[in-house]
Amino acid sequence: MLKKFVITTALALAMSAGAYAETPRKGGTIRFTAPYGSSFANLDIHTSNRAQDEIWAKAIHRSLYKWDANANKPVLDLAKEVKVSEDGLVYTYKLRDDAYFHNGRKMTADDVIWSLTRQMDGAKAYPGARYVRIIKGAVEVEKGQAKEISGLKKIDDLTIEMTLAEKVDPGFNFYQPMLSIYPADEASKDTFATKPIGLGPFKFVEYVPGSRLVAERWEKFYEPGKPYADRITISIMGEAAARDVAFRNKEVDVSILGPTQYVAYKADPELSKGLLEVAEVYTRVMGLNPNFKPFSDKRVRQAINYAIDADLIIKRLVKDKAYRATSWLPISSPAYDKDMKPYPYDPEKAKQLLAEAGYPEGFEFEWTATSNESWGIPIVEAVIPMLEKVGIKVKIKPVEGTVLSEVARSGNYQAFIWSLTSGPDPLTSLKCFHSATPQSACNYTLFKNPEFDKLLDEAAATDDEAKKLENLKKANAILREEVPMWWFNYNKAVMAHQPWLKGLQPNATELAVQNYEDIWVEASSPAK
Amino acid sequence: MLSFIVRRLLQSLPIILAVAALIFVMFSVIPGTFASSMSDDGRSVLDAEVMARMNKEFGLDDPVYVRFGKYVAQLATFDLGTSFRTRQPVAHVIADRLWPTAQLAFASMLFAILIGVPLGFIAALRPGSWIDTISMVGAVSGLSLPKFWLGLLLMYLFALMLGWLPSFGYGGGDLRYLILPSVALGVAPLALLARTTRAAVLDIMNADFVRTARSKGMSESKVVRWHLTRNALVIILTTIGLQFGTVIGQAVVIEKLFSWPGLGSLLVDSVTLRDIPVVQGSILVIVLLFLLINMLVDVLCAIIDPRIKYT
């Protein structure tokens, strides 16, 4: 599996590198798709944390950092340099002096401060508040005790000083599209949410709610010669079958594939040439509630991991569009331990562990699941006979996504199956299992382990990158051993693209979210 | 006539209020809020503080009776509230989507009427003939075809294989984009109209007044024009009215499939994301349209057949 991942990543990187070796063509139209069901929330990206909205936001807006898919880390975007104090708490950003909003006005430090302060408006509920909270004084603004974030200071028009409340890499927070920098004056107007003005490579032209968004090249974009394309249209296409027809009919340039389509595209000699595969930072798991008596026993949780033949399910049901999970951190995480082995399929060992835990005859539990084909009821149905073999009976509780989210954070479940973000920052991601993290945040299985907490606290405090990684790997190993969840798989995202579309990036945080300025369209595209 | 319309409008009021109350109760008891829907993809964790603030901002932390009181008070002033998702007035959000749905519904009904009614007539005038058999087999098939499947089939055939039409999208007024979704949506009402027309015409053909007309020597074309058509029209119009409402309701599937920016896809998105004001507003508008169309049909029927009184 790891070998496969290395080859895939190498191929993806080679594709990227290869793409850059070619001379990008100027002009043409990128015809992108937004595949995640619903229409865009609105055109104020500060109000949405959904991947579907990030897809359009990356065309219009820019943040302090951006995600470098090839380096697999956040890099400066609206700032050209940053100086970090010795204690790692004060960041001084020198902003770009060539970043212009789509109304022609130059970006200044005031715009950055206004945009980040807006997130902390206590009367509103901006999802980005959780990321801005790392700045000293941000919480006070959120609580209405201050109007300005004390840790955010304007030094001059193009310099800001950011003092952090805790030692973290702010890049992992401030690359998020929901923290895009707005023009302070225009963004206060009511019309902004329907006619957005940003710093991105494309300028807003038209939005047909529920159908498409169109944007055209911003001539004053700060990266020389970019964007390459004249225009971008982003079509909202939630139905995979409809997307498939449109892609084959050459009406769109990209399509995100599900397991069934993945098999069909791989088997097609032409379509298989245009597949971009990435190990995304999502871990599919079965969360086990320790308040349900059998799951409070580690041996029972381990027995479940031994009793399920995850490899078989990945192969047959997920059609190899996933990588076998060994623990929480995904393959693309810097703290992933490549030597770690997954739980083998061993029903006899599972029976033995159940007997030791006092359940020789097994038990019955309720499993909450959505209808998702890769991590929902179809998977649960495949697991049921495997668990029955060791005496565990399952009752399925079907719910939809919104209910699953509520059930998991309220603890009102015995077991659930879900796909959860496990990156890109391994420290932030592992903090979901820190005993100080409440269930309503992301410690859904109420995990509590003093050794784990200590390793994480040390990793957060240290400046030694090697030691930090070592601690995170050890913490991840504890999760493997303690198994608060059944470690099922890591998502393999697959994007099909037309042969004329070049410069796509293997973005492990979300493949559908691309830096469009790096993409170009060759003359063979039917779109003019 | 005017008093009839006013009376019908007044009769519609309890229906609208009952629907409004029903939607409110339904969305008060089902689990999940707009805030929890923002984490439904497991991707972006929304912290508890932001969720609580979001619920407060949208008034979701009020007791149910307070929310219901506010909702009724809003409705009384023709205010549908503010969308949780777009943070715009619901009326604006719906207005943006109403025209595409109207286009789709009219186009699909036009397709159904232009083909279904003549087909039903021809089948009835030649009962037992091959055209009758084929049209009725077609009608039954049309009624039983799932819309999603039929839509996909049309996409494959006319977009992918023949390359005649675009497979998805709105096209900003380009009528080519309207053809496939309206055919997919119009096949079921077409089938029903064909069957209803056939049954109505056959029934009238055996009526005493038609026999009398023929025995008096009235030509067949006059019998069809004066007796069959006028009498069948009342039944056909009633069916069209009912189907119009059904088509608006069923547009949900077709709009999602063809990325058509109508009320149906707005409704689905809003239910998924628990944007309750938009759900309530959309359903009310659909119910209102249904009632209006049926009232219009009743008026037309009364004009065509004077025996029908405005009661």
- A419 contacts in chain B (CB < 8 Å): 41-42
pLDDT in tens, A480-525: 999 999 999 999 999 999 999 999 999 999 999 999 999 999 999 9
pLDDT at B292 over 60: yes
For chain B, report the end-to-end CA distance as a whole number of angstroms.
Answer: 10
Which residue type occupies A81?
A: E
Coil, strand or helix at A150: coil
CB atoms within 10 A of CB A366: 14
Residue A441 to residue B160, Cβ atoms within 8 A: no
pLDDT at A6 over 60: no
Say if CB B262 and CB B97 are below 8 A apart.
yes
Alpha-carbon gap, residue A410 to A432, rounded angstroms = 15
Distance from CA of B286 to the nearest CA of A (A): 18
DSSP chain B: -HHHHHHHHHHHHHHHHHHHHHHHHHHHHSS--HHHHTTTTSSSPPPHHHHHHHHHHTTTTS-HHHHHHHHHHHHHTT---B-TTT-SBHHHHHHHHHHHHHHHHHHHHHHHHHHHHHHHHHHHHSTTSHHHHHHHHHHHHHHHS-HHHHHHHHIIIIIIIS--S-SS--GGG-THHHHHHHHHHHHHHHHHHHHHHHHHHHHHHTSHHHHHHHHTT--HHHIIIIIIIHHHHHHHHHHHHHHHHHHHHHHHHHHHHTT--SHHHHHHHHHHTT-HHHHHHHHHHHHHHHHHHHHHHHHHHHHH-TTS---
Mean pLDDT lowest for which of A84-98, A127-141, A483-497, B26-40? B26-40
3-class DSSP state of A196: coil
- Does A282 touch chain B if contact means CB atoms closer than 8 Å? yes
Cα–Cα distance measured from residue A512 to residue A55, given in angstroms and rounded to the nearest whole number: 7
Q: Which residues pair with A284 in a beta bridge?
A: A419, A489
Q: How far is CA A154 from CA A97, A120, A163, in A?
A: 15, 18, 12
pLDDT at A124: 82
Question: Which among A47, A405, A407 has CB closest to B87?
Answer: A47
pLDDT of A462 strictly over 60: yes
User: Looking at per-residue confidence, does B88 or A262 come out higher?
Assistant: A262
The answer to whether residues B34 and B276 touch, using CB atoms and an 8 Å cutoff, is: yes
pLDDT band of residue B45 (cuts 50, 70, 90) is: low
Contacts of B57 in chain A (CB under 8 A): 123-125
Q: Is A511 on the interface with B (CB under 8 A)?
A: no
The whole model's pTM is what? 0.89
Chain A interface test: which of B27, B82, B86, B255 (most A C-beta within 10 Å): B86
User: CB count, 10 Å around CB of A524?
Assistant: 10
A191 CB within 8 Å of a chain B CB? no
Nearest to B189 by CA among B110, B257, B99: B110
User: Token pair for residue A421?
Assistant: 């973000």
Query: Chain A residue closest to B265 (CA)?
Result: A210
Query: Which percentage of chain A shows pLDDT scores above 90?
Result: 86
Give yes or no for a contact between A50 and B38, defined as CB atoms under 8 angstroms apart: yes
CA B140, B144, B147, B152 torsion-angle sign = negative
Q: Do A209 and B159 touch (CB under 8 A)?
A: no
Most confident listed range (A3-17, A289-303, A393-407, B65-79)? A289-303
What average pLDDT does the segment B162-181 reach? 92
Range with lowest mean pLDDT among A393-407, B31-45, B53-67, B262-276: B31-45
Residues of B in contact with A420 (CB under 8 A): 42
Share of chain A above pLDDT 70, in %: 96
Q: What is the mean pLDDT of residues B18-38?
A: 85
Contact between chains at A251 and B166 (C-beta distance less than 8 A): yes
**Confidence tier at A259 by pLDDT (50, 70, 90):** very high
pLDDT on residue A510? 95
User: Binning pLDDT at 50, 70 and 90, where does residue B245 land?
Assistant: confident
Least confident of A198-202, A384-388, B74-78: B74-78
Interchain proximity B169–A212, CB inside 8 Å: yes
Compute the nearest-CA separation of B60 from chain A (Å): 13
Burial A100-117 (b: 16+ CB within 10 A, else e): bbbeeebbbbebbbbbbb
- Asked if pLDDT for residue A13 goes beyond 60, the answer is no
Lowest-confidence range among A74-83, A272-281, B172-181? Answer: B172-181
Instruction: Name the closest residue on chain B to residue A421, using Cα atoms.
Output: B43
Nearest by CB to A245, from B54, B159, B260: name it: B159
Query: Among candidates A92, A58, A98, which has minimal Cα distance to A78?
Result: A98
Nearest CA in chain A to B269: A38
Query: Bridge partners of A491?
Result: A322
Determine, for residues A239 and B257 on separate chains, whether the beta-carbon distance falls below 8 Å: yes
Q: Is A439 on the interface with B (CB under 8 A)?
A: no
Residue B150 CA to residue A363 CA, distance in Å, equals: 45
Residue of A46, A249, A370 to mutate, interface with B, max B Cβ within 10 Å: A249
- Amino acid B125: pLDDT: 87
Residue A20 pLDDT class (50, 70, 90 cuts): very low
Mark yes or no for CB contact B36/A238 under 8 Å.
no
Q: Do B44 and A127 touch (CB under 8 A)?
A: yes
**Nearest by CB: B53 against A49, A125, A418:** A125
pLDDT at A198 over 80: yes
CB-CB neighbors (< 8 A) of A436 in chain B = none
Question: What's residue A346's pLDDT?
Answer: 98
What is the pLDDT, as a whole number, of residue A18?
A: 47
Q: Do A130 and B85 touch (CB under 8 A)?
A: no
Q: How far apart are CA B168 and CA B146, in angstroms?
A: 18
Whether A439 shows a pLDDT value over 70: the answer reads: yes
In this predicted structure, what is the pLDDT of residue A19? 46
Q: How high is the pLDDT of residue A469?
A: 96
Residue B50 to residue A125, Cβ atoms within 8 A: yes
Query: Do the Cβ atoms of A491 and A322 come closer than 8 Å?
Result: yes
CB atoms B87 and A246 under 8 Å: no
If contacts are CB pairs under 8 Å, which of residues 65-104 in chain A contact chain B? Answer: none
How many residue pairs bridge chain A and chain B with CB atoms within 8 Å of each other? 178
pLDDT at res. A15: 52
Average pLDDT estimate for A81-110: 97
Bigger pLDDT: B225 or A446?
A446
Residue B228's pLDDT band, with cuts at 50, 70 and 90, is: confident
Residues of A in contact with B157 (CB under 8 A): none
Q: Which chain B residues are closer than 8 Å to A47 by Cβ?
A: 87
Residue A379 has pLDDT above 90, yes or no: yes
Report the relative pairing of strands A364-369 and A415-421 from DSSP bridges: parallel
The dihedral built from the CA positions of residue B59, B64, B69 and B75, taken in this order, carries a sign that is positive
Q: How far apart are CA B214 and CA B232, in angstroms?
A: 17
Is residue A367 within 8 Å of residue B239, measured between CB atoms?
no
**Chain mean pLDDT for chain A:** 93
DSSP assignment letter at A97:
S
Scan residues 440-469 of A and list those with Cβ closer than 8 Å to B. Answer: 440-442
Stretch A362-378: mean pLDDT: 95
> Percent of chain B beyond pLDDT 90?
37
Looking at A121-163, list the stretches that DSSP marks H as alpha helix, in order from N- to C-terminal side.
129-132, 138-142
For chain B, say whether A241 makes contact (Cβ under 8 Å): yes
CA of residue A51 relative to chain centroid, distance? 8
> Once rounded to an integer, what is the mean pLDDT over residues A201-224?
96
